[in-house]
């Protein structure tokens, strides 16, 4: 996810744009750039934060009443000066900034290369501006028509702003799948990824719709559909207060990121599943397809929440691809002199891509000859650079220290990997793959339904906000969900919580049960449902309080649990994606009710780069 700002009007553009980029920095912060026109194109861009760009631009020509700016969350091409936006056409006439992913950029790039185009960066965005230039060269069409034709050739998601040196009084903006807001002023217009850069100048905004293109001049706005039909824009009046907007209207980044999960899971799957064909495509590991056919052991190394995702991965890969999997705490693995050979594949899972223990673990495995796959949320981070191959989660920047959308994105990637491996090894019939991928394609909607129980979860949180201990129980893939639920609660509310395999209760923890002890049980309809019911009865027999996560419509557990939270029914392998959502919300609400600093809990850091 990146941040986009544009301005055209009577004011100096630079101050508006750079301030807007600061407001959008939560959306991405690995590089930033600005383009201004005042007779000539002045483009300043570099790796680093917006403040680094500001220092870099000091003393330079920052004049002009039209411009655009971008703060990047890299998806294609590592964070670097040359990969930062804006990107320009080969002849330097055109400039573009882009938020999104152009899935067919490599085929477009091949065609443009064959026509003599020379690229400076590794980005998909640069391909788009060269495509527009190429269309103008081939057809002599004006910029507006060339942009429209180019966007009809693009597959993927985009929010773009384009400027031309030959047309210094026009901005062209377009969106499909990534947000763009237009601010409507008096003889001035603003463009941004959300309203935060706009709201201090005007409350009147137009939310551009998918497949719409806006042609913007100082005193004229024309919006057309991508098939050239004029659209009548609807001007909304913003009610949100500025300080809320940086969090997209949510009280905390964590809550925003919990609610982003339908989108982030969709982005994670985009361009990677073809349900009708029963096909999974993972370009980042396809060169190891043969090795995946014959590998006889996979080791997963990670820390914290990412380690919980690894436990889910063990269940998924063994269930679907029948490959033995071992999941290791990276901090233990790295000091244990593990037995590793070149036959092994080691999967490193890390949201930040900078966790010291995980990096050390894969360095050790690499020295012993293993093949390393990375699953990471930050393009160009250390762990992806250390890996032989991998799959990015595309969840967008996760600001809240407690990982939420990154976890479900990691589990989504592991689900795709498990199905991809099954596809390579023929361990799942084609018809079953079609069924599973069709259901997976629908998961973002089921996550929306999980989120709809928020008020119910908040009521339950109110009853347990003063509890001193919690137990979380689950079986099968519900066990790592129980561990993740316990970690979420303890790291943001500071309540002691333990996750346990439900069957393990009898081997000790049941001694803890009394009427003060809330026990959260993952009790959804799956293979171990009857066994979990017995565990609930064991807890109730000792006066424990049971909060059960159940499948919608459940009639048995609701009779015995003290509180139930429903989630939609889904195949067992998708349970972790759904059952985690209510646990994230439960922890969030309890922490807020306890007055804890939800986004920056005490003693914690977003990325543990120390050992």
Q: Which residues bind ligand AGP (CB under 6 A)?
A: 303-306, 350-352, 355, 358, 401-403, 491, 607-608
Task: Indicate the residue among 23 and 256 with the shorter CB distance to ligand AGP.
Answer: 256
Please state the closest distance from residue 255 (CB atom) to ligand AGP, in A.
14
Between the alpha carbon of residue 392 and those of residues 75, 81, 349, 493, the distances in Å are: 8, 21, 10, 30
At closest approach, how far in Å is the CB of 373 from ligand AGP? Answer: 15
Catalytic residue from among 2, 320, 450, 596: 2
Look up residue 269 and give its DSSP letter.
H
Distance, first Cα to last Cα, the chain:
29
| H, E, C per residue of 475-511 | CCCHHHHHHHHHHHHHHHHCCEEEEEEHHHHHHCHHH
Q: Which is nearer to ligand AGP, 129 or 376 (CB)?
A: 376
Q: How far is the CB of 151 from ligand AGP (least distance, A)?
A: 35
Q: Can you read off the two tokens belonging to residue 217?
A: 């001049």
- Position closest to ligand AGP via CB: 304
Which whole-number Å values give the CA distances from 206 to 234, 262, 532, in the listed order? 6, 24, 51
- Residue whose CB is less far from ligand AGP, 303 or 433: 303
Nearer to ligand AGP, 427 or 607 (CB): 607
Query: Least distance (Å) from ligand AGP to the CB of residue 152?
Result: 39
Least distance CB 381 / ligand AGP (angstroms) = 9
The position carrying tokens 């397809």 is: 289
At residue 225, φ and ψ (nearest 5 deg) are -80, 165
CB of 380 to ligand AGP, least distance (A): 14
What is the distance between the alpha carbons of residues 571 and 356, in angstroms, rounded to a whole number?
Answer: 35
282 phi/psi in degrees, rounded to 5: -120, 90
* Burial (CB count within 10 angstroms: exposed 0-12, middle 13-18, buried 19+), residue 250: middle
C-alpha 85/C-alpha 27 separation (Å) is 14
- Secondary structure, 3-state, 410-450: HHHHHHHHHHHHHHHHCCCCHHHHHHHHHHHHCHHHHHHHH
Q: Is 279 a catalytic residue?
A: no
CA distance 454 to 255: 11
Compute the least distance from the CB of residue 386 to ligand AGP, in Å: 13
Q: Which is nearer to ligand AGP, 352 or 415 (CB)?
A: 352
Q: Considering beta carbons, is residue 337 or 603 the nearer one to ligand AGP? A: 603
Q: How far is the CB of 18 from ligand AGP (least distance, A)?
A: 29
Report how far residue 582's alpha carbon sits from residue 565's, in angstroms, rounded to the nearest whole number.
7
Residue whose CB is less far from ligand AGP, 84 or 352:
352
Beta-carbon contacts of residue 281 (< 8 Å; ≥ 6 apart) = 271, 272, 273, 274, 420
Burial 371-402 (b: 16+ CB within 10 A, else e): bbbbbbbbbbbbbbebbbbbbbbbbbbbbbbb
Instruction: Specify the residue, 181 or 302, whose C-beta has the smaller distance to ligand AGP.
Output: 302
CA distance to 73, 80, 252, 385, per residue, from 132 (Å) = 23, 24, 40, 32
Between 171 and 302, whose beta carbon lies closer to ligand AGP?
302
CB of 518 to ligand AGP, least distance (A): 21
Closest listed residue to residue 408, CA positions, set 450, 461, 463, 469? 450
At what angle are helices 575-593 and 478-493 packed, to 10 degrees? 20
Our CB check for ligand AGP shows the closer of 261 and 306 to be 306
In the complex, what is the shortest distance from the CB of residue 609 to ligand AGP, in angstroms, rounded to a whole number? 9
Q: Nearest approach, Cβ of 588 to ligand AGP (angstroms)?
A: 12
200: its two tokens: 């201090």
If DSSP codes are grouped into helix, strand and coil, which group holds residue 160?
Answer: strand
Give the length of the chain: 611
Is residue 293 among the annotated active site residues? Answer: no
Measure the CA angle with vertex 237, ends 236 and 242; round to 5°: 120
Q: Which of 165, 224, 279, 606 is catalytic?
A: 606
Asked if residues 183 and 190 have their Cβ atoms less than 8 Å apart, the reply is yes
Residue 167 CB-half CA count within 13 A: 15
Q: How far apart, in whole angstroms, are the C-alpha atoms of residue 587 and residue 305?
A: 14
Q: Is 31 or 580 the residue whose CB approaches ligand AGP more closely?
A: 580
**What is the C-alpha to C-alpha distance for residues 548 and 360, in angstroms, rounded to an integer?**
39
| Dihedral of alpha carbons 51, 57, 63, 68, sign | negative
Smallest distance, ligand AGP to C-beta of residue 163, A: 37
Q: Tell me the catalytic residues.
A: 2, 606
């Amino acid at each position: 996810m990146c941040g986009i700002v544009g301005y055209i009007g009577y004011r100096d553009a630079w101050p508006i744009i750079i301030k807007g980029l600061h407001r959008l920095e939560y959306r991405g912060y690995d590089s930033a750039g600005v383009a201004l026109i005042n007779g000539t194109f002045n483009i300043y861009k570099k790796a680093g934060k917006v403040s680094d760009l500001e220092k870099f631009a000091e003393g330079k020509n920052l004049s002009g009443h039209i411009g655009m700016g971008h703060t990047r969350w890299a998806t294609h091409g590592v964070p670097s000066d040359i990969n930062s936006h804006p990107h320009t056409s080969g002849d330097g006439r055109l400039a573009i900034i882009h938020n999104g992913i152009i899935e067919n950029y490599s085929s477009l790039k091949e065609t443009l290369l064959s026509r003599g185009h020379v690229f400076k960066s590794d980005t998909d965005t640069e391909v788009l501006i060269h495509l527009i230039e190429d269309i103008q060269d081939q057809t002599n069409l004006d910029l507006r028509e060339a942009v429209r034709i180019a966007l009809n050739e693009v597959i993927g998601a985009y929010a773009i702003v384009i400027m031309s040196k030959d047309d210094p009084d026009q901005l062209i903006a377009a969106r499909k799948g990534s947000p763009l807001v237009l601010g409507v002023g008096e003889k001035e217009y603003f463009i941004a990824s959300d309203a935060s850069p706009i709201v201090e100048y005007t409350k009147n905004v137009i939310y551009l719709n998918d497949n719409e293109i806006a042609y913007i001049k100082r005193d004229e706005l024309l919006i057309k559909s991508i098939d050239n039909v004029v659209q009548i824009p609807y001007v909304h009046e913003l009610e949100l207060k500025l300080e809320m907007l940086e969090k997209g209207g949510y009280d905390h980044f964590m809550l925003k990121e919990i609610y982003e999960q339908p989108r982030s899971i969709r982005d994670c799957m985009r361009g990677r599943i073809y349900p009708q064909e029963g096909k999974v495509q993972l370009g980042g590991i396809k060169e190891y397809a043969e090795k995946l056919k014959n590998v006889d052991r996979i080791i997963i190394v990670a820390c914290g929440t990412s380690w919980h995702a690894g436990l889910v991965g063990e269940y998924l890969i063994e269930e679907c691809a029948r490959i033995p999997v071992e999941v290791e705490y990276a901090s233990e693995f790295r000091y244990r002199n593990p037995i590793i050979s070149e036959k092994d594949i080691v999967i490193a899972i890390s949201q930040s891509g900078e966790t010291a223990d995980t990096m050390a673990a894969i360095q050790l495995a690499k020295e012993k000859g293993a093949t390393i796959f990375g699953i990471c949320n930050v393009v160009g981070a250390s762990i992806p650079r250390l890996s032989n191959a991998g799959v990015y989660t595309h969840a967008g920047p996760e600001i809240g220290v407690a990982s939420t959308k990154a976890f479900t994105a990691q589990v989504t990637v592991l689900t795709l990997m498990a199905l991809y491996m099954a596809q390579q090894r023929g361990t799942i019939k084609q018809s079953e793959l079609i069924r599973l991928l069709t259901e997976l394609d629908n998961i973002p909607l089921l996550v929306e339904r999980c989120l709809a129980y928020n008020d119910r979860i908040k009521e339950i949180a109110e009853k347990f906000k003063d509890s001193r201990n919690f137990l979380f129980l689950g079986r099968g893939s519900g066990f790592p969900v129980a561990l993740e639920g316990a970690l979420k609660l303890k790291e943001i509310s500071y309540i002691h919580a333990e996750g346990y395999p439900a069957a393990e209760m009898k081997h000790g923890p049941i001694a803890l049960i009394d009427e003060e002890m809330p026990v959260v049980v993952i009790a959804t309809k799956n293979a171990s449902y009857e066994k979990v019911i017995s565990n609930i009865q064991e807890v109730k027999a000792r006066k424990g309080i049971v909060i059960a996560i159940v499948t919608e419509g459940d009639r048995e557990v609701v009779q015995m649990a003290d509180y139930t939270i429903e989630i939609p029914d889904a195949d067992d392998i998708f349970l972790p994606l759904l059952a985690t959502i209510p646990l994230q919300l439960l922890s969030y609400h309890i922490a807020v009710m306890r007055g804890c600093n939800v986004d920056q809990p005490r003693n914690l850091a977003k990325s543990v780069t120390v050992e």
